[in-house]
Chain A
Amino acid sequence: MEPILEIKNLCIDFQTNGGAIRACDNVTIDFYRGDIIGIIGESGSGKSTLAAGILKTIREPGKISSGEILYHTKSGEVINLLSLSEKEYSKYRWCNITTVFQAAQNVLNPTLKIKDHFIETAFAHNEDNKYTKKKILDKAALLLSQVRLEERVLDCYPYQLSGGMKQRTVIALSLLLEPDFLILDEPTTALDVITQWYIIDILRKVHKETGITMIFLTHDVSIIGSVVDRIGVMYCGQVVEYGNVMDVFKKPAHPYTFGLMNAIPSLRDDITTRKAIPGYPPNLLNLPKGCRFGPRCFLCEEGRCKAENITVDKMIDIGEGQLTLCPAWKKVKEKCL
């Protein structure tokens, strides 16, 4: 498995009136080429900040304080994205790295027809003049058919399309320049179940045909199960677990993951086994000492988990590519049977 993106010790801070908030704390994670990766996190987990960090869209009062993001291109080069200037980075944006935001409807320019969106995007990256209008429109029609939209959509304005149609258009737009990897931030949150199914289906088909690497950021655990190969779980700015989806789902190695999997009602499981995670996520300005999940954790132990200097900021490799932040991971696995 070759890596495509290696994130090492990424720290992103925000200055607020009440102090500095570390939205991403020493995030270290490796994404492999051709994978579909899901990052689960609730509000305050830092996953959107992580995406913004990769895309270099962090603005004041946010700041990337330290860390590296190593991007391995197809040709084998290794580039540290954080060391690039804005201009250098923009060469990669959209050609290699693209993104689909949450509520994509706000991304489309209401005064431009859809076909103009495609043309404008292509021409913005047209240094070698390899794109002509005809080529772009042909490609656009092909992409739209892949996302199950008719060609007539090209002549529409955004307001004429429904929410689901706009989301699919944005996905087509992101694939225009055949990027290396795609970051999707809550791509289906505002949509209903049937549209969501189609979008996941489209993404699976695209992945099958092109082998593009996809990173899904979501709080919806069920999407994870149905589509991804590997998942990462974030809590309060830290990655608490990362590994193969089958392992993490069936035999989680962190109490938070365990709690999360059991707190989501689905259509087929036994509802009496559902249990909420007690307590509330902590205020990022006032984090608990030691392990951040401690106050809500069923395995929390005075000495081990609350001490100031516990090494809960480096992940433990427990084999088969599964990484966890919890020193008591064995006990969590036992609970899963």
Chain B
Amino acid sequence: MPSLEEGERKMSLMKLNDVSMRFHVAGKKKGEINALVGINLEIQEGEIIAVVGESGCGKTTLGKVISGIYKPSKGEVLYNGKNIRFLKGKEFKEYRLGVQMVHQDSYAALNPNKTIVQSLVLPLLRHKIAKNRTEAIKILFEYFEEVGLTPPEMYLEKYPHQLSGGQRQRILLARALSVRPKLIVADEPVSMVDVSLRISLLNLMAKMNQKYKISFLYITHDLGTARYIAANGKIAVMYLGRLIESNKIHEAIARPKHPYLQALIAAVPEADPSRRSEYATELPLRSLDMPDLLSLPSGCKFHPRCPYSNEKCIKEEPQLREIDGGLVACHYAEEIRISKQEKQ
């Protein structure tokens, strides 16, 4: 994204400066896993960003760093311009309530031994969003109607195991909304929900984004739903802990710049049988499997699988640079684009 002048720069809601996250692996195969490396990301108020990548790419770790569960090994996470590690008191509370999360597994994210109302009323009372239990329940009623769970009392009285996956997911969203956040990190929120109900959940999130100007960080491996929810937003593609492409979503899908994103898009199955012949007969990838996280390749981490790699890619790791309004981490992005255009 082009940057504004220094004086005009509007402070982003969330900014990650060169964030890295390292985990130590104990046991037989000792070593370190760099789950995130040098991530620079900005989230504006009211923006929806889809973070896309395969399993092991670090997208869940990114979500946890942003929600404050993990402290980054390097770099800083700024909320409204301030480093979250040093926040105290009122400012910390602003951050804590301002960034919420909706988990993938709605059953695991609710206390199985408490009714929904017992679980959801507690944060409202603790943070004095409601003066007493009655008022808290009234607030919950409103949010439950907002997320489409009516009549609210029917859902509030139940235990998590008595509800369906789609209903629980809405409850997670209502819970996150009840503390009036500015940013919601949604980690694969619809992957465990029935396909016919996914769109209604995504529509709900888009509605919350429009109505309350809540930003969403939508983490997924499914490009189809990413495209749907981030329709007016950005997409950030991750590979092995690194951000390798970032652009407006329609642009990124229509004209992917990084070879990995090109392969990902080619690999998405085509539902329409009449377009079956367009479905890739060969993926532009040299190898199928991801490298072992404990022994990553040198230079560009994608080079063993990249059909365009050469000497420079083995030696030097590419940095994110701006091309045509988007960011790509590839040495040969321009050349690849030209050769593709020639092919067409």
Q: How far is the CA of A249 from the CA of B271 in the complex (A)?
A: 9
Closest residue of A by beta carbon distance from B276: A226
Question: Which listed residue, B200, B269, B275, B289, touches A165 by the CB 8 Å rule?
Answer: B289
- Contact across chains for A274 and B199 when beta carbons are under 8 A apart: yes
**A42, A148, A225, A260 — most chain B CB neighbours (10 Å):** A225
Q: How far is the CA of A250 from the CA of B228 in the complex (A)?
A: 22
Interface string of B261-278 (1 = CB under 8 A from A): 001111111111111100
- A196 in the interface, Cβ–Cβ < 8 Å? yes
Residues of A within 8 A of B296 (CB): none
Q: Count how many chain B residues have C-beta atoms less than 8 Å from C-beta atoms of the other chain.
A: 45
- Contact across chains for A266 and B271 when beta carbons are under 8 A apart: yes
Stretch at the interface among B73-81, B172-180, B190-198, B330-338: B190-198
Residues of B within 8 A of A245 (CB): 273
Q: How far is the CA of A196 from the CA of B197 in the complex (A)?
A: 23
Stretch at the interface among B43-51, B132-140, B159-167: B159-167
- Contact across chains for B269 and A194 when beta carbons are under 8 A apart: no
Question: Which listed residue, B195, B227, B267, B272, touches A260 by the CB 8 Å rule?
Answer: B195
**Nearest-Cβ distance from residue A199 to partner chain B, whole angstroms:** 10
- Contact across chains for B221 and A276 when beta carbons are under 8 A apart: no
- Beyond A194-B264, A194-B283, A265-B224, whether A43 also contacts B271 by CB under 8 A is no
Q: Count how many chain A residues have C-beta atoms less than 8 Å from C-beta atoms of the other chain.
A: 46
Stretch at the interface among A80-88, A177-185, A215-223: A215-223
Closest residue of A by beta carbon distance from B203: A276
Q: How far is the CA of A200 from the CA of B271 in the complex (A)?
A: 13
Chain B, range 196-250, C-beta contacts under 8 Å to A = 196-200, 202-203, 221-225, 227-228, 231
Interface string of A273-285 (1 = CB under 8 A from B): 0111110110000
- Beyond A193-B268, A226-B269, A271-B231, whether A43 also contacts B194 by CB under 8 A is yes
Q: How far is the CA of A227 from the CA of B269 in the complex (A)?
A: 9
Q: How far is the CA of A120 from the CA of B267 in the complex (A)?
A: 35
Residues of A within 8 A of B197 (CB): 276-277, 280
Q: How far is the CA of A158 from the CA of B275 in the complex (A)?
A: 37
Interface string of A244-261 (1 = CB under 8 A from B): 011001100000000111
Residues of A within 8 A of B166 (CB): 280
Closest residue of B by beta carbon distance from A198: B288
Residues of A whose CB lies within 8 Å of any CB of B are: 42-43, 148, 162-165, 192-198, 200, 219-227, 245-246, 249-250, 259-261, 263-269, 271, 274-278, 280-281
Can you list 23 A-B contacts (CB < 8 A)? A42-B196, A163-B55, A194-B264, A195-B288, A196-B269, A200-B269, A222-B270, A222-B271, A224-B271, A259-B196, A260-B195, A260-B196, A261-B271, A265-B199, A267-B223, A267-B224, A268-B272, A271-B227, A271-B228, A276-B196, A278-B200, A280-B166, A281-B164
16 extra A-B contacts, CB within 8 A, seeds A260-B196, A265-B202? A192-B54, A194-B267, A194-B285, A197-B269, A225-B269, A225-B271, A246-B273, A246-B274, A249-B272, A261-B271, A264-B195, A264-B224, A265-B227, A271-B228, A274-B199, A276-B203
